[in-house]
Structure 1
């Protein structure tokens, strides 16, 4: 098995895509992780895992449809920033896209709650460790 320089098996890299949905008022949508899931109760950007053989952009469009019931075209995904963090024997690569255009009204299908917040307010929310470093860069983009 191939290993990275950090000693993590290369097949154990977990690629996750997430969206910073930005409304007309400059607010960002976050969702609260449900009970029974890892990091339950924390607020996060909506998205999910990239499946084997799937590209990041189609994966994010699929995840936003499943999680929020909205339709997002790949052309509306603007790469914003990323985070890279070791999680036990795996390594998380989180790709964040800014999204300003979608169809439908976001609904909490797989989350406890949804919340629209100003980028500055994200600092006060309990968020997963990988999401926290993205806030400052997101503030600068919006």
Structure 2
């Protein structure tokens, strides 16, 4: 299934989750985003499924093999003409390390999510991910 739409570019992002923690990646480029954190991922290429794009992007950005899980309901505008869609993602092989576009990665527990400066567009997506990953968040 191709998930490309003529009126916007789809950016896929992975909520990489392991041992009760979510992976955040700190941008190093472009300059206006450098130093802020995001869920890793990238643009869907024409003719590519969202799941294949996610696996490809996480391999390129973090050097890991992953398996997409469920899509988090919703989509979030990034900038004009771009929307982000997020999937829960399982690590199959490798240890996430910055490869390109990032200079640091960090595993965050539920109570640490606010310890990093998320990109504005990622904040509502991270909140939706947290609600899905930690449904008993009654603290």
- What's the TM-score bracket when you normalise by the shorter of the two chains? 0.7 to 0.9
| TM-score, structure 2 as length reference | 0.81
Instruction: Report the alpha carbon displacement of residue 52 of structure 1 after superposing the two structures with TM.
Output: 1.6
* Number of residue pairs aligned between Structure 1 and Structure 2: 128
Q: State the superposition RMSD in angstroms.
A: 1.9
Whole-angstrom distance in 2 between the partners of 1:83 and 1:12: 14
Conserved? CA contact 1:31–1:114, under 8 Å: yes
Mean alpha-carbon deviation: is it higher for 105-114 or for 34-43?
Answer: 34-43
Structure 1 segments of 4+ aligned residues over 3 angstroms from their partners? 35-38
Does residue 59 (structure 1) correspond to residue 50 (structure 2)? The answer is no
- Alignment match, 1:13: 8
- Cα displacement string for residues 12-42 of structure 1 (whole angstroms, at most 9, x for unaligned residues): 5120001111111x11111110044441111
- Which residues of structure 2 form unaligned runs of 5+? 134-139
Conserved? CA contact 2:27–2:37, under 8 Å: yes
Instruction: Report the alpha carbon displacement of residue 101 of structure 1 after superposing the two structures with TM.
Output: 3.7
Structure with greater proportional strand content: 2
Whole-angstrom distance in 1 between the partners of 2:121 and 2:82: 8
- Cα displacement string for residues 32-81 of structure 1 (whole angstroms, at most 9, x for unaligned residues): 100444411110011111012211110000001111111123xx422123
- Which residues of structure 1 form unaligned runs of 5+? 1-9
Larger radius of gyration: 1
